[in-house]
Amino acid sequence: MAKNGFPGWHGTTIIGVKKGGEVVIAGDGQVSLGQTVIKGTARKVRRISPGGYDVLVGFAGSTADAFTLLERLESKLEATPGQLQRASVELAKDWRTDKYLQKLEAMLIVSDGQELYVITGAGDVLEPEHDVTAIGSGGNFALAAARGMMDGDKSAEQVARDAMAIAADICVYTNGNLTVEKIKS
């Protein structure tokens, strides 16, 4: 249940994979309200280009909250062009300390092709240890599947797609309608 007692929008799976000179962020398209699938084709992965600088963003959690964070990240990137880490840390600081932002329920995976981070409302900017990260209700399933494929010959995109297919088979809040964005290192 959401904080107000109304069953919240729940579930998604977002994965970020860095391999072979590219980063791929993929997300499923399912939006659920309680135990009901409301939409199966949502787009939870975006490419933003503040000042011509491409950044991929995938989000899990409340859509309105995620879009608020996306806008804030974009303005941080405009203020610090080409500095994803600095913009991410500034966003996490604001998110942690601003009374309005503290109420937001979402997580982000971001990448500029060089760096790959998870940003949380707890003030975390996390860089994955094994060049793969995942968030959302099916995130742990996708993460485990991708980690098992990272040493093989598959491309970053194929690892992400195959891991998402495994997560969709296991997690009822994840479907196989993917949005995939990639960026070269």
Count of the separate structural domains present in the chain:
1
Among 27-36, 40-49, 83-92, the range scoring the smallest mean pLDDT is 27-36
Note whether residue 65 is domain-resident: yes
Q: Which strand (E) or helix (H) includes residue 11?
A: none
Nearest to 64 by CA among 101, 36, 91: 101
75 or 9: which leads in pLDDT: 75
Q: Which one of the listed residues 12, 13, 133, 174 is annotated catalytic?
A: 12
Note whether residue 142 is domain-resident: yes
Residue 63 bears catalytic tag: no
DSSP bridge pairs for 23 = 18, 183
pLDDT at 8 over 50: no
pLDDT at 9 over 60: no
Percent of the chain topping pLDDT 70: 95
pLDDT at 55 over 60: yes
Q: pLDDT tens digit string along 98-113?
A: 877 778 888 899 999 9
CATH number of the structural domain spanning residue 45: 3.60.20.10
